[in-house]
Chains A and B, each alone.
Chain A
Amino acid sequence: MYLALVAALVFALAPVYWMLTISFKTEGEQFASPPPWLVFTPTLEHYYDAFVTRAFGQYLLTSAIVAVTSTACALVIGTLAAYALARFELPLKLNRRLSLWILSTRMFPAIVTAVPLFLMMRDVQLLNTRAALIIVYTAFNLPFVVWMMRGFFADLPRDLEEAALVDGDSRLGALVRVVLPLVSPGLAATAVFCLIVSWNEFLFALVLTQTDAAMTLPVGIAGRVTQYEIKWGVMSAAASVAIVPILVFALALQKYLVRGLSMGAVKG
């Protein structure tokens, strides 16, 4: 049991370890054979190169703005939609049909939409803007939010909302004051997933942004693979920094994450 865990951990963490060490090694040491596993002269030159000489600071900021904004948008719109789907009886079995339709938007490969999106964004003059990415990521995360939150809402006893209505509250008031506080663990879990997806997204960012001002971290990092050289040190330094915000966020919400993911299973 523990052996398997250790093996899995090594497998998962080895690349991270490799990346971290590379980011602190000089270029010479990076390619030494055999590689210096533990003992080497640490250097910060790659970090300096990435965030001072090059525009990685800018990329980081863009990534953060895009991820946070798109997650917030997707949560607001998706939660309202999910609540409606979970609670209101629509005619023509629309509840079920709409839900499936929303889910189906995630069934085709993302690359299929890349070209049409590029053309659309070009036509509305949004290429190379953060807005373009925010719109796309929001749309991309919406089905996920709707399906997650719909499940959480469905698990909640109706009595509570009905009590709120009888007590004189409006639908929206009942949602904000009674329902949302009760599904907050689910909301947190959903938020983390959306953030991670937006933070790591590569394809659309690559297609829709070309300038330093609009580029996100993953695109920026990949951009260091050029025709003539691969800047391993800079890439590793930037990637190491890229891990930090997600790690901090996930740790901060860890309590909610576990509860949120097991919410359906154990009724609290």
Chain B
Amino acid sequence: MSIEFRNVTKTFGGVCVVEDLSLEVRDGEFIVLLGPSGCGKTTTLRMLAGLETATSGDILINGERVNDVPTQHRDLAMVFQSYALYPHMTIAENIGYPLRVRKIEKADRAARVQRVAAMLEIESLLERKPRQLSGGERQRVALARAIVREPRAYLMDEPLSNLDARLRVQMRGELKRLQHQLGTTTIYVTHDQAEAMTLASRVAVMKKGRLQQFDTPLNIYNHPANKFVAEFVGSPSMNFIDGENATIGIRPEHIQVLTTPEDGAIEARVYVTELMGNETFVFLSVGANRLIARAPADFPADVDTKVWLKLANDKLHFFDPVSGITKGTKQESSEFKL
């Protein structure tokens, strides 16, 4: 199913939450809306679900304007951050609810609940109540309720944010596989750039209600449209250095840290190092600037020792110092000084 936002704006009591958003989602895509809290990503999702009305602009599903179609007739399924399981119903009743509402025969309903439960490995929980389940189990139930019928699209509002780190990574993988299996258009909201990078076929980065960039994860990472996107995507974040007529950005993996001086290398001092196990993050001070570099796990330098940096000149990003918009990646590297 294709989805389109056409110049959609949403204001809450004079405050503009989503501003002139235009976005086209193709059938079967996994789209992630990424941004910090308050960027309007959840509101965008809720407008698509019909839980909020757009102040202006059009929302189209399969080319048909749905602004005035009530939620229950949009045929979408949504997974809430809180999971929103019905506390007074058993898990089986929870999963079967969308079918019950559609007046599907009891036997047929039970069979479909069973099938979905088997798919998500929650068959043993069917007779329990939501409060008897762990966070991860509730998450699966919420997913099961969404996929028990075949909706036109899945909407997911930070579905993994209430899980612990290990479970989150596991569920992330399962979600991706599930979506691949079902091939249903999915719109996924998160503030976690790692989730966006791993799940999305395309990522829409938002900030203060405005779409910053809408592209594949790789392009977002390698060719950020502006400084905000460059900084938000990638962990640790991109380094920024204020140059004379541009802000220069370089990712931590493109800084090579040497323990001996070399031609053209910049002198720096180790501020602190963080061993991650498979690699080391080296925090450096270069004059007044602070940089982060990635180094091998066995990187030897201690606090306050002198090191030398080599920047990969072809991996530099140049941003307009005022607007933050990318000026390109191929500028004279001699133009900037640290």
Contacts and interface: CB of A to CB of B under 8 A. Distances in A.
Contacts of A168: 72, 75, 98, 101-102, 149
A163 B80 contact: yes
Contacts, number: 58
Given A163-B78, A166-B78, A168-B98, A157 B84 contact: yes
Given A162-B51, A164-B97, A169 B84 contact: no
Contact of B71 (A166, A181, A182): A166
B32 interface: no
A160 B145 CA distance: 13
A157 B102 contact: no
A166 to B, nearest CB: 4
B66 to A, nearest CB: 13
A54 B122 CA distance: 66
Interface residues of B, number: 24
Interface string B66-88: 00001110011110101011111
A167 to B, nearest CB: 4
Q: Which of A168, A177, A181, A182 has the most CB of B within 10 A?
A: A168
Interface residues of A, number: 17
B64 to A, nearest CB: 18
Interface in B79-126: 80, 82, 84-88, 97-98, 101-102
Contacts of B86: 160, 163-164, 178
B77 A166 contact: yes
A170 B149 CA distance: 17
A264 interface: no
Interface string B47-58: 001110000000
Interface string A153-180: 0000101101111111110010001100
Given A159-B84, A163-B80, A167-B97, 5 more contacts: A162-B84, A166-B76, A168-B72, A168-B98, A178-B86
Q: List 3 tightest A-B contacts by C-beta distance, closest first.
A: A163-B84, A159-B84, A167-B98
22 contacts: A159-B80, A159-B82, A160-B86, A160-B87, A162-B51, A163-B78, A163-B84, A163-B85, A164-B97, A164-B101, A165-B70, A165-B71, A165-B72, A166-B78, A167-B98, A168-B72, A168-B102, A169-B97, A169-B101, A181-B88, A182-B87, A182-B88
